[in-house]
Amino acid sequence: MRDVCIIGIGQTPIGEWWDKSIRQLAYEALRAAVEEAGIDRPDALFVGNMLAERLSDQAQLGALIADFAGWRGIEATTVEAACASGGVAFQAAVRAVASGAIDVAAVVGVEKMTDLVGPGVTSGLATASDADYEQIHGVTFVALNALLMRRYMHEYGVPHEAFAAFAINGHRNAVHNPNAMFRKEITLEAFKAAPMIAPPINLLDSSPICDGAAAAILAPLELARDLGGAAPIRVLASATATDCLSLHDRRDLLGLEAARLSAEKAYRQAGIEAEDVDVFEVHDAFTIMAALSLEASGFAERGCAAREAQDGAFALDGRLPIATLGGLKARGHPVGATGVYQIADVVTQLRGEAGPNQVPDAEIGMAQNIGGTGATVVTHLLAPA
Amino acid sequence: MRDVCIIGIGQTPIGEWWDKSIRQLAYEALRAAVEEAGIDRPDALFVGNMLAERLSDQAQLGALIADFAGWRGIEATTVEAACASGGVAFQAAVRAVASGAIDVAAVVGVEKMTDLVGPGVTSGLATASDADYEQIHGVTFVALNALLMRRYMHEYGVPHEAFAAFAINGHRNAVHNPNAMFRKEITLEAFKAAPMIAPPINLLDSSPICDGAAAAILAPLELARDLGGAAPIRVLASATATDCLSLHDRRDLLGLEAARLSAEKAYRQAGIEAEDVDVFEVHDAFTIMAALSLEASGFAERGCAAREAQDGAFALDGRLPIATLGGLKARGHPVGATGVYQIADVVTQLRGEAGPNQVPDAEIGMAQNIGGTGATVVTHLLAPA
């Protein structure tokens, strides 16, 4: 298995891009990434996307985007695992390069959600849950997360306002990120007064509906050094694990079993412990998901993550900085693109290019991308090559 | 890069399975495949599917099917390239095993199209074409293939009835395949009298709307021998290439450029020539696509495939048997599953288990799976290990 490195990243700002199509968004991110990498044309393209078939009537994004990027002819496919689509597309690219079948791989996560805001997006996002056992009852994706949050609050005696720390941290970190959707701080008072979406989840517990694309270029270590592009960042581990989709069928409702399995596999692959991670791009689609992911990954005791967040443990100057450039909450969560944005953020930190948000001495970075309410979880560990 | 072998295959009969859900169909195919392979639980699952998000409101099939198969926790994702989804999912599994990251991989192609026959399926299949430049004009997927066929007939002076040979061959070969949807022969007269779908494509030029699932289990060569399951079949080559989605933008309308690139790459990987292929599972979604695929892959001169089919060149006793167990036309074409059915059919031939349909001395088999009107093409070459 060859060592695989990231030699270029690219992102579009996240927002409401009504004037840009999926292929345009993807192209902009890829263009920036290949320029950084110093290459003209990759050997293969892996696309992470969840909703284009439903919201844009467009399948086969691999070929569509490869052609629009000027790479007609190359290998190209789409990889999907609901909101973890970006992360699993990145993993597919890593595997292709590691196997020796592909030398230079491009990966792009892209999602366009705002053209059809309303029932279209809500029912689209619901496809991440079990159609036969969850959707059939009319429960939305937010409502499923609300059930988890309600149970967490009950089980551990944690008040709702404890979760505010995740949202406040994300917004604070987004201020200096030019690609973030919400570049403004929020207060505890604003959090408490936010409109309710699905009790106890309110607007500021939730990541936004948005559009965006993020890209990365991968190459084997030796070739990365020859190409002379951006400083290569090595993929130390790439691990996916799954759980049942339905919440009612989980063995341990608040355990986020797939996150635990995925993180443990990743630590094993890299030969490290959770304590060795210096920066963690967490999947904070909702504040409850940030807490569950931190606990399942070994970064906090069960039931303690929200309270620790209140104490500043996960701020830029805390013991484990998370959502360092805004996270899903404030940078934004264009679902199928998010996993690649997380990778790009970790790369930015490991290169020391995070400006005012730089985590000092960041040597090992982790990104964890979650599909559904925890049914597919993919964890990546990165370090400078 | 490790050598990868197929150590088990499984299929459901193709038909209208109104009483079975996607997960059930997938499970049946996987169950049969793991039994052949002599394993209990793979390390990863790759799902090929095109339409579940639209027709079954279900994303994240990887985790869903892994859990239903009793493999909760394993790595699982979905890979998509329209009607080539099965083939590209198989390729992702091959890469994962070749890289050394995964030892035993399962792949299942699954599609359920008949619950919503009508506009739902027609608009779903249209997502394989370009939403902005083709669908917007109201052109269906059949109509796009009809444009290709009309041009082929005009360019090469080939009459419509020449294409009948492909359909007649497929139906003849399906008679003895217990998994085929249409196990009955058709005549030239029936072909000529068939109802028109989109001129010049008639009902018997077309593969059916249907449900089904096919699976394969992959392992590295050494492990395959240790496991002692079915006789291992080696993956000699796995090659994907792309073209633009839109027909109007093709450099060579009848050249099926992605098929040519994909086949050439595959021959190069395996170190063989087109002439060395003994059996070819062709993507005969429409008779015109069979002709174009044969020509692009080096099996016939341009403009000659249909006439050669009339002369019996591609029958079981011809120079290159195709669609040997019915092909997409008569075995059936559950779109995202088809690529894996093709692999299963090639494996059946290479094992010498095709019964009355056995191609004598078949040593090298090829499967070519096509997405859209030729935008994504994936070619696999297989041989006994």
Nearest CA in chain A to B21: A132
Active site residue B333: yes
CA distance readout (Å), A130 to A72, A88, A288, B354: 37, 20, 20, 38
pLDDT tens-digit profile of B217-248? 999 999 998 887 789 999 999 999 999 999 99
- Supply the pLDDT for residue A234: 98
pLDDT tens-digit profile of A36-50? 999 999 999 999 999
Which among B160, B283, B333, B380 is annotated as catalytic?
Answer: B333
What is the Cα–Cα distance from B377 to B255, expressed in whole angstroms?
A: 13
Listed in sequence order, the residues at least 6 apart from A38 whose beta carbon sits closer than 8 Å to its beta carbon are A7, A8, A227, A228, A229
Cβ distance of B76 and A240 shorter than 8 Å: yes
**Is pLDDT of A208 > 90?**
yes
Cβ distance of A127 and B73 shorter than 8 Å: no
Smallest Cα–Cα separation from B340: which of B33, B121, B57?
B33
DSSP 8-class letter at B137: G
What is the Cα–Cα distance from B6 to B33, expressed in whole angstroms?
A: 10
Instruction: Evaluate whether B243 touches B250 at the Cβ level (below 8 Å).
Output: yes
**Is pLDDT of A327 > 80?**
yes
What is the Cα–Cα distance from A207 to A20, expressed in whole angstroms?
A: 21
**Is pLDDT of A191 > 70?**
yes
- Burial category of B103 from C-beta neighbours within 10 Å (exposed 0-12, middle 13-18, buried 19 and up): middle
Nearest neighbour of B63 by CB, restricted to A92, A98, A243? A243
- Supply the pLDDT for residue B225: 86
**Is pLDDT of A229 > 80?**
no
pLDDT tens-digit profile of A301-316? 999 999 999 999 999 9
- Burial category of A380 from C-beta neighbours within 10 Å (exposed 0-12, middle 13-18, buried 19 and up): buried
What is the Cα–Cα distance from B132 to A57, expressed in whole angstroms?
A: 9
Residues of B in contact with A66 (CB under 8 A): 242
Smallest Cα–Cα separation from B28: which of B257, B199, B211?
B211
For residues B63-92, one letter each, b for 16 or more C-beta atoms within 10 angstroms of the residue's C-beta and e for the rest, the string is: bbbbbbbebbbbbbbbbbbbbbbbbbbbbb
The amino acid occupying position A186 is I
Nearest CA in chain B to A122: B57
Nearest CA in chain A to B57: A127
How far is C-alpha B60 from the geometric centre of its chain's CA atoms? 22
What is the Cα–Cα distance from B62 to B130, expressed in whole angstroms?
A: 26
Nearest CA in chain A to B256: A73
Dihedral sign from CA coordinates of A90, A95, A96, A100: positive
Residue written as token pair 């200096």: A176
Model ipTM? 0.98
Q: Which of residues 35-94 of A touch B (CB under 8 A)?
A: 44, 50-51, 53-54, 56-60, 62-64, 66-67, 72-82, 88, 91-92
Q: Which of residues 198-217 of A touch B (CB under 8 A)?
A: none
- Supply the pLDDT for residue B229: 77
The answer to whether A140 faces chain B, any CB pair under 8 Å, is: no
pLDDT tens-digit profile of A246-304? 999 999 999 999 999 999 999 999 999 999 999 999 999 999 999 999 999 999 999 99
Q: Which of residues 224-283 of B touch A (CB under 8 A)?
A: 238-245, 249, 257-258, 261
Cβ distance of A54 and B58 shorter than 8 Å: no
Nearest neighbour of B101 by CB, restricted to A50, A95, A372? A95
| Pairing mode, strands B105-111 and B376-384 | unpaired
What is the Cα–Cα distance from A345 to A282, expressed in whole angstroms?
A: 11
